[in-house]
């Protein structure tokens, strides 16, 4: 392997010119050292009209802030808390895309990628580096970018799966800043009930996909007595790690990547990051692979477990917005919904609390005006709240409404029944 030549972050970002589109590695592995260097160039009046693209990012996000209006413009594929207010104020923007297709935006040329800025692990003996906790669509960005900048960070785990040669990078910067970690709150009693209701739908030998946060951790806690589970997911966190360490997750029943956990990006404690380091039982792959419904469907008993901001009485699932207010993004929800539906014995599950923390019902007669439909009603199958689980597949609109009302908050059921009567007419009460 040839000797690595490092440059400073300020030198590396000199390749950025006004009007460029910049890709950032995301979630826990944002290259903050390069962003800070770009801010210095912006403060000096050297660049303007820079467009940023990324998944959900953790940490400071100056590329979305009002003080850089006209200089930086954020157009993320998924909106996290650090940019949410600025997106909804118009200082930043959301670019709707199924995450499985985010890589296609770059590879097809539909979206420019002039500069790729990513964090990578220390190289192996062959000069290959891992993107660690944030493979996502960064492989595609590196492939097509005019300039690729790699931040070599010893805290980035060397994860097997899709690797990149150091030779692909025009500039290499050294940094030893720890990756962002996330500790999630213990599940509430409501989340525990939802976890139990979901767990009852998961058979032994199933392959699971779920996200991060208190609710997925609540579900994971209810799966401790299951056997031979597999994992093929967009991302995972500490809840899945606990199942792996208990031997509940072993991938024995998987037909694709048997015995291995497959993901594309991670956010959790340092235990999760340490676990994937040089661990052949984990594959961190291009989002093109992890989110391909045809790949997902090859594993039998695929369980796609996702969430929602609202579900209307016909089964339309909103998950990216609350009315016109962008909350997150389309994500990979429909990628996995489709894959699970096609899987032999698979199930698509949408799980959420019947009410928000402020007491607003989430099973509604009509979605809030402007809300985005992430999963169409034709693809809505199992819906789970703390009050039970219902399967909408093969059910008419009125049958769906009756089922959904049965798992709404008890104090909301009379209102929903009245609104269903107004929608469907006097024959509504004959529907059983």
Q: Hey, which residues are catalytic here?
A: 234
Determine contact, residues 266/26, Cβ cutoff 8 Å: no
Measured from the Cβ of residue 213, the count of other Cβ atoms closer than 10 Å reads 17
Determine contact, residues 223/202, Cβ cutoff 8 Å: yes
| 3-class SS letters over the chain | CCCCCCCCHHHHHHHCCCCCEEEECCECCCCHHHHHHHHHHHHCCCCCCEEEECCCECCCCHHHCHHHCCCEEEEECCCCHHHHHHHHCCCCEECCCCHHHHHHHHHHCCCCCCEEEEEECCCCCCCEEECCCECCCHHHHHHHCCEEEEEECCCCCCCCECEEEHHHCCEEEECCCCCCCCCCCCCCHHHHHHHHHHHCCCCCCCEEECCCCHHHHHHHHCCCCCCCEEEECCEECHHHHHHHHCCCECCCCCCCCCCCEEECEECCCHHHHHHHCCCCCEEECCHHHHCCHHHHHCCCCEEEEECCCEEECCCCEECCEECCEECCCCCCHHHHHHHHHHCCCCEEEEECCCECCCCCECEECCCCCCCCCCECHHHCCEEEECCEEEECCCCCHHHHHHHHHHCCCHHHHHHHHHHHHHHHCHHHHHCC
Q: Which residue has the tokens 């009302």?
A: 405
């Amino acid at each position: 392997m040839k000797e690595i030549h490092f440059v400073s972050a300020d030198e590396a970002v000199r390749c950025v010119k006004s009007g460029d589109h910049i890709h950032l590695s995301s979630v826990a592995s944002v290259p903050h050292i390069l962003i800070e260097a770009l801010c210095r160039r912006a403060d000096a009046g050297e660049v303007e009209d820079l467009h940023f693209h990324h998944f959900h990012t953790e940490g400071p996000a100056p590329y979305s802030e009002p003080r850089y209006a006209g200089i930086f413009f954020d157009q993320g594929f998924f909106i996290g808390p650090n940019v949410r207010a600025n997106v909804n104020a118009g200082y930043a923007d959301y670019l709707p895309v199924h995450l499985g297709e985010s890589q296609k935006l770059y590879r097809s040329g539909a979206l420019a990628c002039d500069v790729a800025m990513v964090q990578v692990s220390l190289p192996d003996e062959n000069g290959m580096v891992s993107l660690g906790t944030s493979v996502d669509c960064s492989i595609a960005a590196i492939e097509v970018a005019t300039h690729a900048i790699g931040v070599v960070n010893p805290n980035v785990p060397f994860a097997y799966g899709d690797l990149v040669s150091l030779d692909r990078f025009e500039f290499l910067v050294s940094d030893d800043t720890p990756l962002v970690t996330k500790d999630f709150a213990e599940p509430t009693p409501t989340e525990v009930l939802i976890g139990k209701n979901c767990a009852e739908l998961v058979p032994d030998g199933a392959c699971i996909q779920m996200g991060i946060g208190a609710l997925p951790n609540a579900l994971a806690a209810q799966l401790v007595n299951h056997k031979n589970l597999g994992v093929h997911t967009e991302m995972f966190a500490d809840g899945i790690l606990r199942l792996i360490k208990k031997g509940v997750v072993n991938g024995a029943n998987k037909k694709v990547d048997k015995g291995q956990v497959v993901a594309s990006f991670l956010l959790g404690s340092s235990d999760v990051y340490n676990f994937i380091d040089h661990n052949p039982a984990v594959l961190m792959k291009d989002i093109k692979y992890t989110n391909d419904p045809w790949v997902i469907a090859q594993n039998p008993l695929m369980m796609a477990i996702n969430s929602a901001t609202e579900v209307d009485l016909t089964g339309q699932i909103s998950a990216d917005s609350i009315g016109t207010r962008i909350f997150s993004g389309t994500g990979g929800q429909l990628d996995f919904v489709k894959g699970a539906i096609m899987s032999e014995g698979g199930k698509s599950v949408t799980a959420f609390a019947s009410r928000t923390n402020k007491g607003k019902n989430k099973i509604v007669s009509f979605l809030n005006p402007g809300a985005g439909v992430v999963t169409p009603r034709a693809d809505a199958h199992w819906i789970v709240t703390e009050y039970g689980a219902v399967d909408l597949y093969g059910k008419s609109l009125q049958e769906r409404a009756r089922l959904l009302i049965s798992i709404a908050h008890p104090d909301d059921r009379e209102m929903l029944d009245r609104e269903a009567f107004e929608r469907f007419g006097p024959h509504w009460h004959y529907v059983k």
